[in-house]
Structure 1
Amino acid sequence: MIAVAIAAAVSVALPGFLVGGLSVQIRGEFGVAEGRYGWAMSTYFLAATTGSILLGRLAQIIGPRRQLTIALIGAAGVDICIALFAKEFSTLIAFLAVAGMCNAAAQTAVNLGLAQAGLPRLGLAIAVKQSGMPAASMLSGLAVPALALTLGWRWAFVGAAAVALTALSGVQRTIARSAGLAADTKHQPQSPLSALIIAGVAAMFLSFGAGALNAWVVESGVDSGLGKGTAGIMLSVGAALGIAIRVGWGMRLDHMRGHPFVTAGLMACGGALGVLGLALRLPATHVIATVVAFSGGWIWPVFLNFGVVRANEGRAASATGITQTGVYLGVFAAPLTAGAIIERSGYTSMWMVTAAAMAIGGVLMARVSRRF
């Protein structure tokens, strides 16, 4: 079940991350500037934002197995369509919007499936599942030398389709059929709506920080004096740390005392200190600060989802549909907003704003911790 969860999470996240990792090749083919190209990844997350709540409720009605099946077939189909039919940049944007909806559908369904499975180590399961995003980031980086520079960037999306179909096969074998819940008030979350909204707002600020890190840490490193290769390696190191620390905390999560949201807030504030270090614009400091920023700034989703799923075991999809809306909104806004700040005021100002956003998110997490 856990392996299927991470495979599903990776496969639906890959289209958005591939667009970032293959930006040089895709921009070169379509002839678009960086500013316009930023809308490619942002459109993916904007679509996920608009669909998250409704698709979370739909998963409660039709069950996680059926919704995952639809989402993974859709993701594989979109990947193939991008590879074969995306001849214009506008067509690529349209396909990415569909991919974003598939992501929202799959993420909420996976959360519900994990909650319904009665796993003895729910925290570890969620931590492994939440490693899907950094894993997708790592795979998108590996796709450049392995596929984009040898066979062409479109073959990377063919590979993504293969991952989605593999995950689909696992879903059919592993997740039991479920009739879901009746389409009435039973699909509403068990946690108070106000608490879920505050958690979603906190997630928005925190995902803004995570999105800015993912989008700009490489170019920021080059600007600070690092070589292009070193700066790129630091992104991969950051993603690898994100996976290792998420799984490490997941192994402890089920036995932890205290509220998971408090730990999330503390980790986020530690990540904010690392982001402040990026504002110093020194090569050596940038390397150390990148490690600290990723170590704290990419770990909070484990605690967020564990707290929400544990408090809403029977309604995990609808509850995480609300909080995931904040996540997607923050990731949507981060590349565009941070890029605008860089153009106006430089990297120092951008990283200071990003650190402030992460600190605000951490405080909000701690404030609502007793509800989860």
Structure 2
Amino acid sequence: MSARRERSAGTARAATAAVTVTTAGVLPAYLVGVLWVQVSADLEVGPSLLGLLVAAFFGTSAVAALSAGTLVRRLGTVVVVRLAGLTAAAAMLLVAVAARDTAVLVAALVLAGWGNGIGQPASNDLIACSVSSGRQGLAYGLKQAAIPLSTLLAGVAVPLVAIPLGWRTAFGLGAGLAVLIVLSVPSARRLGTAGSSSAPSEAAGPFRRAPLYVLAVGLMLGAGTGNALGAFFVSTAVAGGIAPATAGVLAAVASGAGALARVLVGWLADRVRTRWLLVVAAQMSLGGLSYALLGTGVEALIVVGAVVGYCTGWAWAGLSTYAITRMHHGMAARATSITQGGMGLGAALGPLAFGAVVSAGSYAVAWTATAALAVLGGLVIVLGRRLLLRERPALVAAHRQRRAAARA
């Protein structure tokens, strides 16, 4: 019983560390988005810069993730997880004390993006090493819930901190929170990862990149549209006549509901055997319909669109990682590196394109285009799944052979 309790404790610590560090890693980007009304008024910049900042963050994250595996092998998972949290703290502190022009904002978001880029794979490795396969769906759901959780924290910062004390104070408090998160990350021994290897097992069988590239395109579209929601909802709501403080609260409520949706779907994934990639496609498509509501300019529809969008169109990230990992036993690192690259690219390009469309047209045009791209993303996921299933028999046979060799 004591060994079982120790394993359960290690699972809980690993999941907690992955969630908190992921929250800190993406907080700088979403804090900028939620506080943009105050930041832009103070620095006298337009909405297109917000798209550039978010693109700089996620673009740097996508590039940094490519080297994260090497960094984890050299320094260790826990060290990289802590480094990611410290980088987020430094970036938010830089914004709080030194952001006077565009160059400093861009530099801070690039720094934060690097920390997020190395932190995401390190957190995934933490889950892979410490969480049993029967609980990994929930663990990935909890980890990905950190993204809307960061928006929740940023949204709460608007009425409680930014409006009475200023947006710089909000960034300063965010930096302090990131430092506390780093201090709370347990050691490798306490997490139960001491002595485990983070090196991927790449010899499990045939590896086909083409279906994964198709899935990466679908995930790119889904991440681009979902990230536009996180970055531009508050400014959209304010343009629709909702007060800034109310818009911040709505962002917090909607992102909190989205976080719960990610956890619930992850919990179900551990218990229900179904075609989860089709569920991902359905979530993206339903999210697209909700994005169309945001472009109507009607306050009630904006509220509904935000809640439904967070609970569907931006709630599939953990589920997609879980599904692809389960379909590539022993090759999860190689498979998810491709799909994660697509998600990172979409997260970078989506807000950038959205900001450009808003500057040239209107929020209505931007959200209509976003809705269409989200539905297209769902269709591409269906195609990628069909291509992937063609390789399924060979992958299953390779997995069985690998398990038999391990028992021998």
Q: Return the alpha-carbon distance in structure 2 between the equivalents of residues 50 and 299 of structure 1.
A: 23
Match of 1:217 among 233, 240, 256: 233
Match of 1:326 in 2: 342
Match of 2:168 among 141, 154, 157: 154
Task: Tell me, yes or no, if structure 1 residue 165 matches structure 2 residue 182.
Answer: no
Letter in 1 for 2:28: P
Q: Does the 8 Å CA contact 1:79/1:158 hold for their aligned counterparts?
A: yes
Structure 1 residues 109 and 308, CA gap change in structure 2 (3 angstroms): farther
Q: Does the 8 Å CA contact 1:54/1:321 hold for their aligned counterparts?
A: no
What TM-score, normalized to structure 2? 0.80
Q: Return the alpha-carbon distance in structure 1 between the equivalents of residues 244 and 154 of structure 2.
A: 17
Match of 1:100 among 94, 97, 113: 113
- List aligned pairs for 1:77-156, cutoff 5 A: 77-119=90-132, 120-156=134-170
Match of 1:238 in 2: 254
Q: Return the alpha-carbon distance in structure 2 between the equivalents of residues 150 and 262 of structure 1.
A: 45
- Larger Rg belongs to: 2
Structure 1 residues 320 and 56, CA gap change in structure 2 (3 angstroms): farther
Structure 1 residues 94 and 354, CA gap change in structure 2 (3 angstroms): same
Number of equivalenced pairs: 371
For the residue of structure 1 that corresponds to 2:274, the secondary structure is coil
Task: Tell me, yes or no, if structure 1 residue 72 matches structure 2 residue 88.
Answer: no
Structure 1 residues 103 and 314, CA gap change in structure 2 (3 angstroms): farther
Q: What runs of 5+ residues in structure 1 fail to find an aligned partner?
A: none
Q: What runs of 5+ residues in structure 2 fail to find an aligned partner?
A: 1-13, 390-408
Task: Tell me, yes or no, if structure 1 residue 336 matches structure 2 residue 349.
Answer: no
Match of 2:214 among 195, 198, 201: 198
Q: Identity percentage over the alignment?
A: 29
Using the TM superposition, give the Cα deviation of residue 8 of structure 1 relative to its aligned residue in structure 2, in angstroms: 0.8
Q: Return the alpha-carbon distance in structure 1 between the equivalents of residues 119 and 143 of structure 2.
A: 12
Structure 1 residues 189 and 22, CA gap change in structure 2 (3 angstroms): farther
Letter in 1 for 2:316: W
Q: Does the 8 Å CA contact 2:202/2:334 hold for their aligned counterparts?
A: no
Using the TM superposition, give the Cα deviation of residue 325 of structure 1 relative to its aligned residue in structure 2, in angstroms: 2.2
Match of 1:53 among 52, 66, 69: 66
Using the TM superposition, give the Cα deviation of residue 261 of structure 1 relative to its aligned residue in structure 2, in angstroms: 1.0
Q: Does the 8 Å CA contact 1:9/1:106 hold for their aligned counterparts?
A: yes
Task: Tell me, yes or no, if structure 1 residue 307 matches structure 2 residue 323.
Answer: yes
Match of 1:177 in 2: 194
**What does the per-residue CA deviation read over 1:74-111, in whole Å, with 9 as the maximum and x for residues that have no partner?**
33333334434445431232122111011011111111
For the residue of structure 1 that corresponds to 2:67, the secondary structure is helix
Q: Return the alpha-carbon distance in structure 2 between the equivalents of residues 152 and 224 of structure 1.
A: 23
Task: Tell me, yes or no, if structure 1 residue 367 matches structure 2 residue 380.
Answer: no
Q: Does the 8 Å CA contact 1:264/1:303 hold for their aligned counterparts?
A: yes
Match of 2:55 in 1: 42
Q: Does the 8 Å CA contact 1:127/1:250 hold for their aligned counterparts?
A: yes
Q: Return the alpha-carbon distance in structure 2 between the equivalents of residues 132 and 190 of structure 1.
A: 33
What TM-score, normalized to structure 1? 0.87
Match of 2:401 in 1: none
